[in-house]
A and B are shown apart, each in its own frame.
Chain A
Amino acid sequence: DAKTTQPPSMDCAEGRAANLPCNHSTISGNEYVYWYRQIHSQGPQYIIHGLKNNETNEMASLIITEDRKSSTLILPHATLRDTAVYYCIVRDSNTGNQFYFGTGTSLTVIP
């Protein structure tokens, strides 16, 4: 699976949009981009995933660049409960059994 690069930490003001970047320059055509988050040592929570097109659900939006070498997770109106470690993961859904969790981005939402 391709390696991802994320900033180690970010801050965001409560009520503002949180934009979390992820670089995956070696991603291959079959690999999806997944985002999970982990709130204070709880189990990872699935957020969203996509292949090429931008995706949106009730939690977040995922913007994938045209060359697919990077993506951005957007939390449109961050709340204090969004403070967590966010993991960007790329996985080949044809062959990959597992998710490779790196160190992620520690997002702190500030009141």
Chain B
Amino acid sequence: NAGVMQNPRHLVRRRGQEARLRCSPMKGHSHVYWYRQLPEEGLKFMVYLQKENIIDESGMPKERFSAEFPKEGPSILRIQQVVRGDSAAYFCASSPVGWADTQYFGPGTRLTVL
């Protein structure tokens, strides 16, 4: 049973470009969460999604960031017009039932903005 998959594992972008991060939840999981970890800091919650719905985006920056979890395919975290401060590790987690359940994390995508 494969765990949470994230790709790419490493992503390099120049300032002003777009970054797309993908997350495939564990089999049977329909709830996805995105977290960001800045260097030397703990993980910070960004957004919680179910299929085709955003449930909680209280941790998402108001501009340039968006997330989706379509009916088919992986969840996508999109960062438009990246800046150096976006350089971080982005982790996706999934759970089978919802926010009451344990979350299982993927290996992360390390974004570097030049």
Contacts and interface: CB of A to CB of B under 8 A. Distances in A.
A72 to B, nearest CB: 20
Contacts, number: 57
Main secondary structure of the interface of B (DSSP, over half): strand
Interface stretch (B66-74, B76-84, B97-105): B97-105
B105 A41 contact: no
B42 A43 contact: no
Given A101-B42, A103-B42, A43 B100 contact: no
A43 B105 contact: yes
Most chain-B CB neighbours within 10 Å: which of A41, A45, A102? A41
Interface of A: 34, 36, 41-46, 49, 87, 93-104
Given A43-B106, A98-B45, 18 more contacts: A34-B102, A41-B89, A41-B110, A42-B107, A44-B91, A44-B93, A46-B102, A93-B101, A94-B100, A97-B45, A97-B55, A97-B56, A97-B99, A98-B33, A98-B99, A99-B43, A99-B45, A100-B45
